[in-house]
DNA sequence: AAATAGAACAACCGCATCTAG
DNA sequence: ACTAGATGCGGTTGTTCTATT
C-alpha cells in the first residue's frame, strides 16, 4: 500500500519562492500561526505550494531571528565537535546554534567543513607516509629553511596542526583501554539517557527524548546494557582522540558550546582513577567515551535531552 | 568578454516517527 | 491495537553565484 501524496503534485508550484509568496506566508503565520496543519495552510492563503514546502520555507528562511551569513570559528568548532560525537543529527546540532537552521548547518558542513577536514586529513596522512618513507622531495621543498619543519600553514584549515605534533596511541595501550572505555561509554549513555541507533532492535522508545534524565535513564538502561552502537562515518573512525584535541585547538581548553560535557572529566576519573580537573574537558576525555578508534562497534550517539535547551521532537509547534 | 568549473545555497524527496481517531 | 495522515529529519538534487582560465 503506497503512501498518499501529501499534496496534489500537479497543482503545486516548485522551485524558488517569489517575494510575494514569501510575504503572504510570512504575514499569515505571524498573524495566525500555521494553524496546526501545514498541509492545509497553502490553500488557506492561496499559495500553490506543498505544505511541506511552506513549512520548510518558514523554518529555514522566513522565521524571525534566522541568522544568515558566514559561520564564526566558534560555530565551526561546535558543529565539528557535535558532528563527531553525534553524527549527522542536524536538528540537534542546530539547537545548539541559535539562529541557525539544520538545513544551513547541513549545507555548511557538506560544502565547507567536511572538505576542510578531509582535505587536511589527506594532507596529514600524506605527510606521515612521506616521513615513514624518508620524506618526499616535495615535502622537503616545502620545509621551512630555518628549522627544517614544514610551514605551519601547510594546511589551510585552522583545525589541523602539523602532523608531527600529533601523538598516536600505541596499539597495545588502546587495546588495553578498550574494555574500560566500553563500560565508560555505556555508563555515560546510561547516565545521560542515551538513545541508540535506529538499527538497534532494542532501541528505547523515541518518547524518552523528552523525558527527564532520570526517566530516560530508567527507560534506556536495559537496552544499553545489552547492546552496543557503531561508528559508521569513515570521517569519524579515521581520527584518534589526540588528533581531535589538536584539530579543534582544545588541548587544554574547554570546548566552546559543549556545556553538556562539563563534568565529564569526573566521570572519566571515576572510571580510570585519573586526575583531570572537572571544569576542563578535552577531546581526549570526551571522545574516549564516545569515540572508539580501535573498537569499531561503538558510536557516540547522545540523547537530545543531554543538551541544555529542550529539543523539540515531533508534534505541533 | 565569454566559457567553464567549483562553491554555496535553496528546495525537494522519501523515509521514519508521531499522533489522533 | 491498528491505521491514516501529519510532521520532522536527513540525504540529495537543482539552481545561482563567483572565481578562474
In this structure, the answer to whether residues A198 and A290 fall within a common structural domain is yes
* Cell triple for A287: 571522545
C-beta of residue A84 within 8 angstroms of C-beta of residue A239: yes
Q: Which of A7-16, A49-58, A206-215 has the highest mean pLDDT?
A: A49-58
Task: State the CATH number of the domain containing residue A52.
Answer: 1.10.10.60
Query: Smallest Cα–C1' distance to nucleotide C8: which residue has it?
Result: A314
Q: Do the beta carbons of residue A208 and residue A216 sit within 8 Å?
A: yes
Scan for cell 587544554, then name that residue: A252
Are A302 and A177 contained in the same domain?
yes
The percent of residues in chain A predicted with pLDDT above 70, rounded, is 34
CA distances (Å), origin A302, targets A47, A185, A191: 39, 10, 11
Residue A35: predicted pLDDT = 83
Output the pLDDT for position A93.
87
The nucleotide minimizing the C1' distance to residue A115's CA is: B7
CB A107 within 8 A of CB A93: no
Residue A83: predicted pLDDT: 84
Q: Tell if A304 CB is < 7 Å from nucleic strand C.
A: no
Strand C–CB A36 distance below 7 A: yes
Q: Measure A202 CA to B7 C1' (Å).
A: 42
Point out the nucleotide closest to A36 (alpha carbon to C1′): C6
The range of the structural domain enclosing residue A38 comes to 9-62
Angle at A166 between CA A162 and CA A167, to 5 degrees: 155
In a domain, A316, yes or no: no
Judgement on whether residues A272 and A222 belong to the same structural domain of the protein = yes
Please tell me the predicted confidence (pLDDT) of residue A69.
79
Q: A293 with A174: CB under 8 angstroms? A: yes
- Considering only CA atoms, which residue is closest to the C1' of nucleotide B20? A315
- State the burial class of residue A208 (Cβ atoms within 10 Å of its Cβ: 0-12, 13-18, 19+): buried
State yes or no: pLDDT of A229 exceeds 70: no
Q: Is the C-beta atom of A83 closer than 7 angstroms to strand C?
A: no
* pLDDT bucket at A237, cuts 50 / 70 / 90: low
- Mean pLDDT, range A32-47, rounded to an integer: 87
Q: Looking at the structure, do residues A204 and A263 belong to the same domain, yes or no?
A: yes
How many independent structural domains does chain A possess? 3
What average pLDDT does range A258-272 have in this prediction?
38
Angle A170-A191-A241 (CA atoms, 0-180°, nearest 5)? Answer: 20
Instruction: Assess if residue A21 is contained within a domain.
Output: yes
Q: Is the CB of A198 under 7 A from strand C?
A: no
Last residue of a domain, one of A134, A165, A196: A165
Same domain, A233 and A106: no
Q: Is the CB of A207 under 7 A from strand C?
A: no
Per-residue pLDDT, averaged over A304-317, amounts to 33
- Same domain, yes or no: A91 and A50: no
Minimal CA–CA distance to A289: which of A186, A171, A203?
A186
**A18 CB contact with strand C at below 7 Å:** no
Task: Name residues whose C-beta falls within 8 Å of residue A38's C-beta, 6 or more positions apart in sequence.
Answer: A51, A52, A54, A55
Q: Residue A312 falls within a domain, yes or no?
A: no
Structural domain ending residue among the three candidates A165, A192, A224? A165
**pLDDT above 70 for A68:** yes
Any domain includes A140: yes
**A181 plus A141 within the same structural domain:** no
From first CA to last CA, the distance across chain A in angstroms is 30
Residue A115 scores a pLDDT above 70: yes
Say yes or no: A205 and A80 in one domain: no
Instruction: Report which of residues A285 and A157 the model is more confident about.
Output: A285
Question: If you measure CA to C1', which residue is closest to nucleotide B14?
Answer: A3
Residues A296 and A229: beta-carbon distance below 8 Å: no
Identify protein residues whose C-beta is within 7 angstroms of any atom in strand B: A 3, 9, 13-17, 49-50, 52-53, 56-57, 60-61, 68-70, 103-104, 106-108, 110-112, 115, 198, 205-207, 209, 313-315
Scanning chain A, the segments in alpha helix (DSSP H) are: 19-32, 41-44, 51-57, 73-86, 90-95, 102-108, 114-132, 137-142, 171-192, 213-225, 234-237, 241-247, 264-272, 283-290
* A103 CA to C18 C1' distance (Å): 22
A315 in contact with nucleic chain C (CB within 7 A): yes
Residue A284 CA to residue A288 CA, distance in Å, equals 6
What is the distance in angstroms measured between the alpha-carbon CA of A17 and the sugar C1' of C16?
A: 14
A126 pLDDT tier (thresholds 50, 70, 90): low
Q: What pLDDT does A129 receive? A: 53
Question: Which one of A103-117, A128-142, A151-165 scores highest in mean pLDDT?
Answer: A103-117
- Of A199 and A241, which is predicted with more confidence? A241
Instruction: Examine the domain organization and report whether A197 and A265 are in the same domain.
Output: yes
| Predicted local confidence at residue A116, as pLDDT | 73
Determine if strand C comes within 7 Å of the CB of A15. Answer: yes
Give me A131's grid cell. Answer: 616521513
Residue A144 has a pLDDT of 32
User: In this structure, is the CB of residue A104 within 7 Å of any atom belonging to strand C?
Assistant: no
Nucleotide nearest to A94 (CA to C1'): C9
Q: Is residue A2 one of the residues assigned to a domain?
A: no
Q: Where residue A4 falls among pLDDT bands split at 50, 70, 90?
A: low
Amino acid at each position: 500500500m503506497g503512501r498518499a501524496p501529501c499534496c496534489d503534485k500537479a497543482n503545486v508550484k516548485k522551485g524558488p519562492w517569489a517575494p510575494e509568496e514569501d510575504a503572504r506566508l510570512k504575514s499569515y503565520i505571524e498573524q495566525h500561526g500555521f494553524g496546526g496543519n501545514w498541509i492545509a495552510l497553502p490553500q488557506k492563503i492561496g499559495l500553490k505550494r506543498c505544505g511541506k514546502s511552506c513549512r520548510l520555507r518558514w523554518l529555514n528562511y522566513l522565521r524571525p531571528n534566522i541568522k544568515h551569513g558566514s559561520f564564526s570559528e566558534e560555530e565551526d568548532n561546535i558543529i565539528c565537535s557535535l558532528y563527531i560525537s553525534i553524527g549527522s543529527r542536524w536538528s540537534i546540532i542546530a539547537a545548539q546554534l541559535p539562529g541557525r537552521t539544520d538545513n544551513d548547518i547541513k549545507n555548511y558542513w557538506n560544502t565547507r567543513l567536511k572538505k576542510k577536514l578531509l582535505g587536511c586529513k589527506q594532507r596529514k596522512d600524506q605527510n606521515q607516509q612521506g616521513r615513514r618513507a624518508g620524506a618526499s622531495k616535495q615535502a622537503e621543498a616545502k620545509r621551512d629553511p630555518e628549522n627544517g619543519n614544514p610551514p605551519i600553514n601547510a594546511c589551510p584549515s585552522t583545525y589541523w596542526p602539523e602532523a608531527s605534533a600529533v601523538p598516536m596511541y600505541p596499539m597495545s595501550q588502546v587495546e588495553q583501554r578498550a574494555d574500560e572505555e566500553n563500560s565508560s561509554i555505556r555508563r555515560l549513555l546510561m547516565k545521560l539517557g542515551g538513545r541508540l541507533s535506529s538499527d538497534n532492535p532494542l532501541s528505547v522508545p523515541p518518547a524518552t527524548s523528552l523525558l527527564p534524565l532520570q526517566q530516560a535513564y530508567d527507560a534506556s538502561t536495559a537496552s544499553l546494557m545489552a547492546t552496543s552502537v557503531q561508528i559508521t562515518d569513515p570521517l569519524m573512525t579515521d581520527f584518534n582522540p589526540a588528533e581531535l584535541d589538536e584539530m579543534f585547538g582544545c588541548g587544554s581548553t574547554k570546548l566552546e558550546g559543549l556545556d553538556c560535557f562539563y563534568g565529564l572529566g569526573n566521570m572519566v576519573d571515576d572510571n580510570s582513577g585519573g586526575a583531570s580537573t572537572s571544569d576542563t574537558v578535552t577531546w581526549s576525555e570526551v571522545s574516549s567515551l564516545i569515540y572508539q578508534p580501535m573498537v569499531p562497534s561503538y558510536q557516540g550517539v547522545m540523547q537530545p535531552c543531554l543538551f541544555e535547551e529542550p529539543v523539540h521532537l515531533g508534534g505541533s509547534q
